[in-house]
Structure 1
Amino acid sequence: MLGLGRQRGYTLLELMVTLGIVAILAGVAVPSFNGFIQTQRLRSAANDLTTSFNLARSESVKRNVDVLMAPSQVLWSDGWLVKLGDGSTLYESAKLNGVDVTASANSFTFQSNGRVTSSGTFSLEGVGGSTIAKCVRLKLSGGSVVDEGACP
């Protein structure tokens, strides 16, 4: 006599319940993940600016020349250039996606002693009505500070 063996596996009902739970969890996680992505974009942009400041400052001291930092096009959001006094480019940043950058000046010059001719602020804000913002302050000494929130 052949006995009925015990079958292994999941029923259709169990699979549908599991799929429903996964869909609900994904719906809750997606909005917070978008905020996380925006925060990381702003943090990356602030780090890129700070790195460019450090490059311009160190090269001005090393080469004993003025180094200019200016937007590569009209807007700082389109990227920026770090250039020597003779016009040769040391660094060109890529366009920033999802971040609006507003600076207090059109360019900044690092003198041969590492100081900046004028201090300034860079306001970094997320696009699309995001309330997340960062403020990068360039000090006269050539150093920079990154603050949470919009620039005052």
Structure 2
Amino acid sequence: MRVSKNSLSPTIQMRSSGFTLIELMVTIAVLAIIVSIAAPNISTQLANQRVKATANTLANALKEAKVESILRRQNVTVVYTSTSTPQTIKLQVGGDDISTYNLNARSTVTQTITPSTVSSIVFQPNKKIANNATVIYTICDSGSTNETPKQVSLTSIANINTTNAGSC
């Protein structure tokens, strides 16, 4: 025999409606534990995403410089400015800016040019880098120590590669 809720006495109806304070506290405690476990993973993922975005921006700037030097049949100079906020990559032809890229403010970019006597990267129309220079940019995130650093490397024949490498 089925009993409907309407046929129960008012005291029984009052006991079975809603949640008790203990049930709510247990639920909140379980949620707090789950959030405390997930939070570090989320911050690491965000740091990795910032590093990846900065590496992609840097690689795109270098690719544009390579293409512009071929199309314009002129040398295109890549100027990396680490002292400004945000950090910038500028592409220049004859001292005039043709393009500017802003890098993520929380990213740290380290530029290593070989040979050390070369101060700037110049893409030539013959698809080579002036002075046979090679460059490695190492990208890290300043807000995290657990991220995976990325490197954008540029060979003397203007090949651009992005890899998970380097140390922060």
Structure index of larger Rg? 2
Change (3 A) 1:50 1:81: same
Deviates more, 1:138-147 or 1:55-64: 138-147
Alignment counterpart, residue 98 of structure 2, candidates 79, 90, 93? 90
Amino acid across the alignment from 1:65: Q
Aligned residues of 2:79 and 2:90 also touching (Cα < 8 A): yes
Change (3 A) 1:9 1:73: same
**TM-superposition CA deviations, 1:101-142 (whole Å, max 9, x none):** 111134210001232122211111222562531111101221
Instruction: Quote how far apart the aligned CAs of 1:67 are.
Output: 0.5
Structure 1: runs of 5 or more not aligned: none
Q: Could you tell me which residue of structure 2 aligns to residue 144 of structure 1? A: 160
Change (3 A) 1:63 1:17: same
Alignment counterpart, residue 111 of structure 2, candidates 71, 89, 103? 103
Q: Could you tell me which residue of structure 1 aligns to residue 19 of structure 2? A: 10
Instruction: Quote how far apart the aligned CAs of 1:79 are.
Output: 1.6
Q: Quick one: distance in 2 between partners of 1:107 and 1:75?
A: 17
Aligned residues of 2:47 and 2:143 also touching (Cα < 8 A): no
Matched, 1:69 2:78: yes
Count of aligned pairs between the two proteins: 150
Amino acid across the alignment from 1:125: C
**TM-superposition CA deviations, 1:1-27 (whole Å, max 9, x none):** 983263432222211111111111111
**CA-based RMSD:** 2.4
Q: Quick one: distance in 2 between partners of 1:64 and 1:101?
A: 29
Deviates more, 1:4-13 or 1:60-69: 4-13
**TM-superposition CA deviations, 1:40-93 (whole Å, max 9, x none):** 111111101110011001111111111010123547972211111x22212212
Identity of aligned residues (%): 23
Deviates more, 1:125-134 or 1:138-147: 125-134
Q: Tell me the TM-score normalized by structure 1.
A: 0.86
Structure 2: runs of 5 or more not aligned: 1-6, 114-118
Amino acid across the alignment from 2:36: G
Matched, 1:133 2:139: no
Q: Quick one: distance in 1 between partners of 2:8 and 2:27?
A: 34
Q: Tell me the TM-score normalized by structure 2.
A: 0.78
Aligned residues of 1:60 and 1:112 also touching (Cα < 8 A): yes
Aligned residues of 2:55 and 2:139 also touching (Cα < 8 A): yes
Q: Quick one: distance in 2 between partners of 1:79 and 1:70?
A: 8
